[in-house]
Structure 1
Amino acid sequence: MLILGQLPRADNSREICWRYVSKDSRVRYVRQERNFGPHANFRYLIDQAQGKYFMWAASDDRWDPEFIERLVGSLEQEPEAAVAFCPYVEIDEQGGLLPGMHSFDFGGASALTRITKFHLEPSGRRDAFFYGLFRMSTVVKMNFVKWWWINKTIPMNNAYPPLSYILAAGNYLLAASDRPLWFNRVHLNSKPRHSADLASRPFVAYAAFHLRKINQLYETEKAVLKGSGSALTGALVFPILVGRCLFDCLIEARRILLGAIRRLKSLMRGAVTR
């Protein structure tokens, strides 16, 4: 296990990490001298990893004690599979369960089937298997991309190209479980800084959204070609990716329009009150 730290913390997390290092020789602790950002750290962890399987573990999530055992069991049964995941739930800042259990199955006999399932899934949670268990021989070839220009500091959606590569390269396995095995922390009372930066400029935000989706389309097509090694698969997938891009842009336009209407109604009510 490799534990990666970046910035000094007010709590005693460093001491806790070193305590585990002293107890188990398999645990390594690395503290970066500066914040390299998510992409560089994701890649760094892959490069440092040793063994047959690999997973990222966010510091604020939680796992069932059988999480790794169940996923390893699934991958051992299908040696050609690239990733295994599980049913999961979301928890709030205090660890309270949020409504609903989520379960996605993107498995299929062909890269085209898996990619189609993934990109036609309407839920924004479909990229959650980024925190599944990967076969090391596949994940080591995963590439991480940065968005262009106005989106260069925005991490949203940039898991889609590498996950598309994984699905193109090998099968997806959904571990059988009647209970959630992963507990994804959702911060309900705070928003990431990049969201606040464009919150007061909805039209600039929409333009940035379009650019990000075009970037995503391009990088995802590249990832599918690389993962599948098939120009035919890439050609068949491309219309699906374009359709998803257009769908996401329409949904975002609807969201911004409804927000503008709500603000206009609020202003009109305020004017009538005065």
Structure 2
Amino acid sequence: MHSGKDSNERLNERSKRLSITSATSKDISEELSLWNQICTDLLNLYNLHKEAETVVQKTNKYHDKINGKPELLNPKVAKKLIESYNRVIEKATKEQKEITKTKDNLDILIALQNNSESGIEHKRKKRKMDKYLNSSKLKSHDNKQYKPLSPGNLVVVKPPGQDWLLASVLQYFPDKNKYEVEDVEDDEDRPGIKKRYIFPVKCVLEIPNEDNQKPYFPIGHEVLSLYPNSSCFYKATIIKTPNEHKNSSNGKPAYIVRFEDDDEAEREVPADRVLDMPPKMKLKEDK
């Protein structure tokens, strides 16, 4: 086990490297501030772990004595054992909260970093801007007349290491040009709790509503589509357009698409859940 001093030195070194790699980002102050907080959280987590380890060792000593001499188990010893169990639970709960907080901050930092690197890679390869309607909407994010989405608006985002997912807008930060969004589904590890994320405007895909003109995608076009009976979006190819697919299951405009790695199955997806693949906004794929 490394000492707290060694851990601190390693974290400070990583912080220095981060300041160099993100030097081209407009949000460098925010990223470094977030990283410093993560470094502090990791040191707190290390200390909490050591405290919990001490309590667990003490509890195990009680067990060893009782196992060796069962006659020692009396009401007084049992009371001490219960108190020891409660301390272990208390330490473990604090440690879990610190892990969750640190992970959330890391998710935000990775998203900001990936967005910066994605923009640099885009310029390097000089990718062609998309010719469909969604592309023009992306450009509008950069001008001063950008009208932010209202709380409750549905969007699609890609948290680091996860699939594209359906989320709801919580609030817009005009000074940072970022959104806070919330997953529409509960966290698998924490039922009843929805994960929240912060993304730059250009990393948020808007779901068309009745007030917005829906883009038209021709047969063979690659899209980002909601997988039926889920809240996740995946890469797919248009097989039939709403005009050709007149008999949708609910009478509303729908595409027939074929998802990657889906055994060539053709699936019906509502037109407002089929989005263009945005080259500028695509975060790094998992390696």
Q: TM-score band (shorter)? A: under 0.3
* Larger relative contact order, structure 1 or 2 (CA cutoff 8 Å, min sep 6): 1
Q: Please state which structure has a larger fraction of its residues in strand.
A: 2
Larger helix proportion of the pair: 1
The TM-score normalised by the length of structure 1 is 0.24
Q: Report the TM-score when normalising by structure 2.
A: 0.24
Asked which structure has the greater CA Rg, the reply is: 2
